[in-house]
A and B are shown apart, each in its own frame.
Chain A
Amino acid sequence: MTTILETMGKPPIAVTGAADHAQEFAEVASRYRPHIFRFLLSSMRDPDAAETLTQDCLLKAHVNWASFRGESSVLTWLLRIAINLQKDAWRSRRLQFWKTTHQNAVDSTEAANWLASGESSPEQQTLARDQVRLVWKAVKGLSERQRTVFMLRHVEEMDLGEIAVAMNLSEGTVKSHLSRAMIQVRKELGGKR
């Protein structure tokens, strides 16, 4: 029997009952919560704000779970909700949200300290940390859309079609934002290309 987690889609409502729906959603939430949290954390660099919006996202997804038809993957759908919630948060509480997020935001230098334990020598670690710091510096200078596209592409490793669906943009617009973001990143990393 294939489950929703195996298919990344959703079985027809007719063949599932309310209890199955709850079970399905519990599985979806436990599986994708870290992804949503990570995306929001990388976008805002504020763990508390990321956690709050992750909760809001799962709550909204739970409420609308019955209306999800599986036209996109579950993760794309959840990230779309997260992106919209983030936008709403910027808009509706712009001043307060900016204020608290900036107060709680982890500095890009500090954020660069998290490194996967793949680097063998201290020199390699220093080089990697420096590169990460420069990417963070470039990301800080991006517009909200460019940053979101960049994070979805290079952190969440989504393809352009999925990003377009998640952000409700055309693929051409996504390409344009990504291209501009990459110009900034390359510029920061040494002005190459």
Chain B
Amino acid sequence: MSFKKSPDEIHQTEDPQVEAALRHFRASVHSWGEDEFARARVIRPRSRASRFLQMPMLNWGVAVAIAVSGVIVPMEVRHQHQVTAAQQAATEQRQLAAQAATQMAQITPSANMTDEELLSHVDTDIAQAAPDAMEPLASLMNESTAR
């Protein structure tokens, strides 16, 4: 058997001052409520934006999407840059290799050349490679060869 009073019992045997205060409080709130309820009030229709902002699941979804895209987009951009750079480097390497091969093909005499053609080719290369300062000497050589 419990002798502890429940709040209901406590409420019934409340201090007269507390009881009076609670009675006045109740009467005051009722009076205020009636007064405010009777007052004409314009209810502002909510805008679509505020309705949108009141959907917590949607807000969370948008927040997660923004966070994920904030991480993924820079990573994707960086990856794209790396791929493009690698492709450019490969293209440049291929071009350089092709140029080198072309130059080598020009420089290297072919196997079916005759000895005279080979000598003529070497002469031409030497003549072409003569620097400006050696130009008078080269012209002399040409003249002597012509004789």
What are the interface flags for A140-170 relative to B under an 8 Å C-beta threshold, 1 for contact and 0 otherwise?
0000000000010111010110000000000
A79 within 8 A of B: no
Question: How far is it, in angstroms, between the C-alpha of A55 and the C-alpha of B56 when the chains are bound?
Answer: 20
Interchain Cβ contacts within 8 Å, total number? 106
Is there an interface contact between A116 and B21, defined as CB atoms closer than 8 Å?
no
A sample of 9 inter-chain contacts (CB < 8 A) reads: A51-B41, A51-B43, A114-B35, A132-B25, A155-B30, A182-B18, A186-B15, A186-B18, A193-B15
A179 within 8 A of B: yes
Give which listed residue, A41, A48, A93, contacts B32 with CB less than 8 A.
A41
Give which listed residue, B8, B21, B41, contacts A135 with CB less than 8 A.
B21
Chain B positions within 8 Å of A51 at CB level: 41, 43
How many chain B residues sit at the interface, stated as a range, is 20 to 34
Given A47-B41, A185-B18, A37 and B53 touching (CB < 8 A)? Answer: no
Is there an interface contact between B7 and A48, defined as CB atoms closer than 8 Å?
no
Chain A positions within 8 Å of B21 at CB level: 131-132, 134-135, 185, 189
Question: How far is it, in angstroms, between the C-alpha of A96 and the C-alpha of B30 when the chains are bound?
Answer: 28
Interface residue tally for chain A (C-beta within 8 Å): 44
Chain A positions near chain B (C-beta within 8 angstroms): 33-34, 37-38, 41-42, 47-48, 50-52, 55, 91-93, 111-112, 114-116, 118, 128, 131-132, 134-136, 151, 153-155, 157, 159-160, 175, 178-179, 182, 185-186, 189-190, 192-193
Question: How far is it, in angstroms, between the C-alpha of A91 and the C-alpha of B22 when the chains are bound?
Answer: 30
What are the interface flags for B19-60 relative to A under an 8 Å C-beta threshold, 1 for contact and 0 otherwise?
011101111111111111101010100000000011010000
Give which listed residue, B6, B29, B36, contacts A175 with CB less than 8 A.
B6
Is there an interface contact between A34 and B37, defined as CB atoms closer than 8 Å?
yes
Name the residue of chain B whose CB is nearest to the CB of A151.
B29
Name the residue of chain B whose CB is nearest to the CB of A119.
B24
